[in-house]
Structure 1
């Protein structure tokens, strides 16, 4: 039996500028086994000053459209079909050929219907709601004039009104016999499935490279119909969980595996604490994540098979442990490289200022790497505890080579004393405080996502041990969705 949950919140930057939340999300499952999840992200640029309404209208008309699609479509259309993905049509890249199979045709009809109904809704809203006081205060005059000029025309003549309401659209639909998904714009959709005793994840809908930084495709584009990409499957295989997140969420995590791991934390909470507790945690966590991450509005909607998640919870924990293990392996290689660099400088016998500075950096970097490794080992051990497995251990040969005492950092003054035949320097003006060159504070500011524990789904406000009574907040760790104008 499938279920669904969702949540959207106002971004931190929107709070600061008195801008409303421009995201909209929904997710649900029916007793007949049909589930729908939708996330829409209104564009943040000033031109799109009614995008919060555009996002809401897009979700509502799409919800109605997919229900009609499921009810009216030939039930055998997807029967036995393997997973199939279709990317956008890109005339600017010479990709103008349109598939002629029936599946492509019916999806094009669905997308056309969504675009038509969405445009109908925004025209109705624009006609019923002239420029208001908030808009006069916050929106540049040129965009207000553009809106007014459009409203002075008949509907058929309005060519750019939809820009005012511009937004993205991401959708997942599951029935007892097949599932499909489609997407226009940015944000990420991640699907999870247990295959041969391992957690596998992927983005089921093909990515569109035109969605980059603060640029995105959109329902308000003149060629929006060709910008939809989609996928479907009807051979009886279904994802165990699918997450849809607006770009404010994935922009906060940087590396995609961090986002994947965050959703696994949500999966673990669903399986161990239940749906209501998970919703409450999302309501608390996403605003925190926006504050320390992208500062953007955030939305997440998910459809999941709770029984499957409960039955395979340890496989998800094991995936997390393997992720941490791979990162320990990476940092071990870095430690070996730094040790070689340190030893090479020491063996050279050079005592000039440049050599001492280089040695200082190598020793400090080695110190930080060891600290990072220790933090990762603690996370590994917590996950091992969840699995009832053994803790991580550094190989004996490495432990025997490591000096438990910190490496002594030589000073430039010492080098100068040697270079000047041990003549005493009365001033230490030439000494270097390495922390000013490479400060922990600077590291924290450039790596705030990592330092907040997001990289492996842990944070000070939550426990990764799911069978104990610890605080259960989901771990916390972008604002422009502006379309090319």
Structure 2
């Protein structure tokens, strides 16, 4: 049986700049909690990304829909250990998510005209109105990370576009950040995005055939609030405590997040995780 957790908070820097919360986080599972999804998305903070918070929310919903649409094939592939087919279907999830997201943000824009304030802001940035499709999707620009753990098959996978981190907590309680998801070109304000023209090809993915204690995805706002040594300890603390009292752990995390942003990155913070129910030694 799996235990899930998700939380987010507005960054202290966003509060000072009068910017909204632009991260989104969610978890979902099947009725028996034999498999679960954890997802986070980080809307871009630049001035032109005026609807990136909504873009992040839409990204999470599109990813869930895309994973649901391919999950049966992946379950079959995993059972047969068909790596080539698994990778083909993970790429398909990335493509479907990207296309669904662009279609959804354009639909949202068509149903929600620019406000006076939004129009004035775009004009102040010398952005020509009316907007073309590519310019519309830019308003909603966001990263996305999604992780899935199928406990009864001992299989996990994660997809990612943009920055942030995925952490896999092994059975020996070591924490691994899958190398396949890393992109050395990202950081210092540079990121790939769902709003990029080549977004379907900018996704990375990783997967593993193994029993794990947990898997978590987080925005860069959370990851950048820790040094490389302390982030695993933070995740292991959640991993241990959530088995003892999941509700208390979830509440404590949400209470801690604003303090973490203030003492750390100053950015919005989001985290979503899947953990196995087990005995703590």
Q: TM-score, normalised by structure 1?
A: 0.54
SS in 2 for 1:311: coil
Cα deviations by residue, 1:310-341 (Å, 9 ceiling, x for unpaired): 334xxxxxxxxxxxxxxxxxxxxxxxxxxxxx
* Equivalent in the alignment of 1:404: none
Shift of 1:141: 2.1
- Match 1:245 to one of 218, 236, 241: 218
Cα separation, partners in 2 of 1:31 and 1:128, compared to 1, 3 Å: closer
Within 1, Cα distance between the matches of 2:205 and 2:48? 28
* Equivalent in the alignment of 1:294: 265
* Equivalent in the alignment of 1:192: 169
- Match 1:171 to one of 110, 128, 146: 146
More helix as a share of residues? 1
SS in 1 for 2:20: coil
* Equivalent in the alignment of 1:220: 195
Shift of 1:193: 1.1
Cα deviations by residue, 1:188-208 (Å, 9 ceiling, x for unpaired): 11111124xxx2211134301
* Equivalent in the alignment of 1:7: 7
Superposed counterparts of 1:45-444, under 5 Å: 45-71=46-72, 73=73, 75-79=75-79, 81=81, 101-136=84-119, 139-143=121-125, 145-146=127-128, 148-150=129-131, 158-175=133-150, 176-177=152-153, 178-195=155-172, 199-204=173-178, 205-234=180-209, 237-253=210-226, 255-272=227-244, 274-307=245-278, 310-312=279-281
> Superposition RMSD on alpha carbons, in Å?
2.0
SS in 2 for 1:117: helix
Shift of 1:18: 1.7
Cα deviations by residue, 1:94-118 (Å, 9 ceiling, x for unpaired): xxxxxxx333322222222111111
Instruction: Select the structure of larger CA radius of gyration.
Output: 1
Say whether the 8 Å CA contact 2:241–2:249 is kept in structure 1: yes
- In the alignment of these two chains, the number of paired residues is 277
Say whether the 8 Å CA contact 2:158–2:166 is kept in structure 1: no
Say whether the 8 Å CA contact 1:248–1:297 is kept in structure 2: yes
Cα deviations by residue, 1:444-468 (Å, 9 ceiling, x for unpaired): xxxxxxxxxxxxxxxxxxxxxxxxx
Shift of 1:47: 1.5
Within 2, Cα distance between the matches of 1:130 and 1:118? 18
Specify every segment of 5 or more residues in structure 1 that has no aligned partner in the other structure, as ranges: 85-100, 313-485
More strand as a share of residues? 2
Say whether the 8 Å CA contact 1:5–1:28 is kept in structure 2: no
Cα deviations by residue, 1:197-253 (Å, 9 ceiling, x for unpaired): xx221113430112122111111111111111112234xx23211121110111111
Shift of 1:124: 0.9
Cα separation, partners in 2 of 1:14 and 1:74, compared to 1, 3 Å: closer
Say whether the 8 Å CA contact 1:81–1:233 is kept in structure 2: no
Within 2, Cα distance between the matches of 1:61 and 1:17? 29
Shift of 1:27: 1.1
Cα separation, partners in 2 of 1:133 and 1:266, compared to 1, 3 Å: farther
